[in-house]
Amino acid sequence: MQLILKGIDRINKAITWGVILMFGVMAIVIIAQVIYRFVLKASLPWSEELARYLMVWVTFLGAGVAVRTKGLIAVEAIVNLLPSAVKKAIYYLVTLLSVGLIVIMIYFGFKMTGFVSNQLSAAMQISMAWAYSAIPVGAIVMLMNTVAVIIEEKGGQP
């Protein structure tokens, strides 16, 4: 099991660097667009579209990695007041619901990506599948990291 967790952590490290790179490119593109628009009185027609698609990818991949580090927001104030057995039951229920929702995201994400694969983006003229594929890819990362958290917790309470 430790080998699986180490492999997942290596994948997460690569994804994290990818997210950092995408975020950096997004920032540069937005700054360039501001300079072009307000200083040069021109515009880059593709900049807003690229920044939007990069933001979608950063969001989905970042959320996937955040599952592993338990960095996603959670409301635990009431749960922490409950007895240990109830806490454990709620943890199992939330984990089961999370896995179910992630599987639904993967299924419909691939379905949506297939629907838009022949459609081109307005400015960059790339397949919309590139933008929409962030949904199933991010969900797969979420599922992988949920499994890692389950393995690490060994069914115990968080």
Look at residue 155 and tell me whether its pLDDT is greater than 60: no
Residue 158 placed within a domain: no
The H-assigned helical ranges of 39-156 are 47-69, 84-115, 129-132, 134-153
What is the arithmetic mean of pLDDT over 88-102? 94
Residue 143 placed within a domain: yes
Give residues with Cβ within 8 angstroms of 68, minimum separation 6.
8, 9, 12, 145, 148, 149
What is the arithmetic mean of pLDDT over 86-93? 90
Residue 54 placed within a domain: yes
Residue 24: pLDDT band with limits 50, 70, 90: very high
Residue 70 placed within a domain: yes
List pLDDT tens digits, range 37-63.
Answer: 999 999 999 999 999 999 999 999 999
Q: What's the chain's average pLDDT?
A: 94
Residue 157: pLDDT band with limits 50, 70, 90: very low
What per-residue confidence (pLDDT) applies to 78? 85
- What is the value of pTM for the model shown? 0.90
Residue 128 placed within a domain: yes
Residue 134 placed within a domain: yes
Residue 23: pLDDT band with limits 50, 70, 90: very high
In the chain, the number of structural domains is 1
Residue 86 placed within a domain: yes
Structural domain harbouring 113: 2-153
Look at residue 146 and tell me whether its pLDDT is greater than 60: yes
Look at residue 72 and tell me whether its pLDDT is greater than 70: yes
